[in-house]
Structure 1
């Protein structure tokens, strides 16, 4: 079975020309916008209509999929008791799975796809922590385009995340018995959950109270 490759990129406040040069370097021909709100207060060149027109003018396809793959969710059942979006719940939701399937269909048709969101560093963006993980779980090789033009794979990002949250995990695992030892996969899963708590979109207090009352 063929392994498809998917890129991601954060537009930050880059000039359009720099952003396009990064895409061109990796021969991206389709940009999927995964922002829930496709507008930028500090970089209006990435407002939905403007970036769509710019990419079209340069021969790239643009698709907005913020409803399917965005960080903010209108379905309150996808939030946890603490009031933030639970990425594990989202990853099992019908709408999210429809979005992942649309990407897979595009890859099968031969498109070279990059997910676009706002944040420069993918480790603080749902494009990696939610969507990138979802695509990796489907067998895709996910690479995040960095400001210096190099890429970081999803696996490398996971190691960076693990080292942030569990810097002593490797040493500690030597001193626990097998029954209580965590596997590498366990620690990666815990790292995703901690990052979800750090970056997940949070509801206003009155909505949190509604969710807590329903649990």
Structure 2
């Protein structure tokens, strides 16, 4: 199962709509907290972009009220819970949103998650939503250009390269369970360390994005 994401950033409207057609998108899910452009690219204000997308024969759904980091923060605060990566992933309305995406994909829709930031590494699409959807077995493809996609594995490689220097001493030792279950200690050690660095990297990057 596959889901696309896209950041409109400084793209012209014509380019944005052409990318939707090129990748055969039939449903745009707007995940912005506030569905209005922060720059002068006012064509991405909700009322305008929704109309343009629907005129192109594509469905538009606003779900920033469930999937945006700021909304999740508000929900956790209301419940007296601290705002951290794992609490955010477990928040009820967020999970309802994730489930709705998964259900749409299972029904055969080609969905793209839309936000402003072009680089998915610096956006909740690649970090928060990307992590959650990958756990659901969804293959994430982040649209960069008409000839370039960046998948979630590539995002995780970027996370590893970025954060490995910060954690290189933290995960040196194998856990006892690792040593019991595997014979090839060297391979397990490398895999274990990389997985843990990526997990911790998601958490650290999430903190940067939400702040």
Same fold (TM > 0.5) = yes
Identify if the C-alpha distance between structure 1 residues 78 and 126 changes in structure 2 by more than 3 Å, giving closer, same or farther: farther
**Per the alignment, in what secondary structure is the counterpart of residue 23 of structure 1?**
helix
After the TM superposition, which residues 115-134 of structure 1 pair with which residues of structure 2 at under 5 Å, given as runs? Answer: 115-134=113-132
Residue 150 of structure 1: aligned partner? 148
Q: Compute the displacement of 1:148 (Å).
A: 5.8
After the TM superposition, which residues 45-124 of structure 1 pair with which residues of structure 2 at under 5 Å, given as runs? Answer: 45-73=43-71, 74-75=74-75, 76=77, 77=79, 80=82, 85-124=83-122
**Unaligned stretches of 5+ in structure 2?**
177-188
Identify if the C-alpha distance between structure 1 residues 165 and 78 changes in structure 2 by more than 3 Å, giving closer, same or farther: farther
Task: Say which of 166, 174, 178 aligns to 1:178.
Answer: 174
Could you tell me whether the CA contact under 8 Å between 2:5 and 2:125 is conserved in 1?
yes
RMSD: 2.3
Could you tell me whether the CA contact under 8 Å between 2:28 and 2:59 is conserved in 1?
yes
Q: How many residues align?
A: 192
TM-score, length-scaled by structure 2: 0.83
**Per the alignment, in what secondary structure is the counterpart of residue 127 of structure 1?**
coil
TM-score, length-scaled by structure 1: 0.82
Residue 199 of structure 2: aligned partner? 189
Identify if the C-alpha distance between structure 1 residues 26 and 71 changes in structure 2 by more than 3 Å, giving closer, same or farther: same
Aligned equivalents of 2:62, 2:174: Cα separation in 1: 47
**Unaligned stretches of 5+ in structure 1?**
203-215
Q: Structure 1 residue 138 and structure 2 residue 136: aligned?
A: yes
Could you tell me whether the CA contact under 8 Å between 1:28 and 1:113 is conserved in 2?
yes
Q: Compute the displacement of 1:86 (Å).
A: 2.2
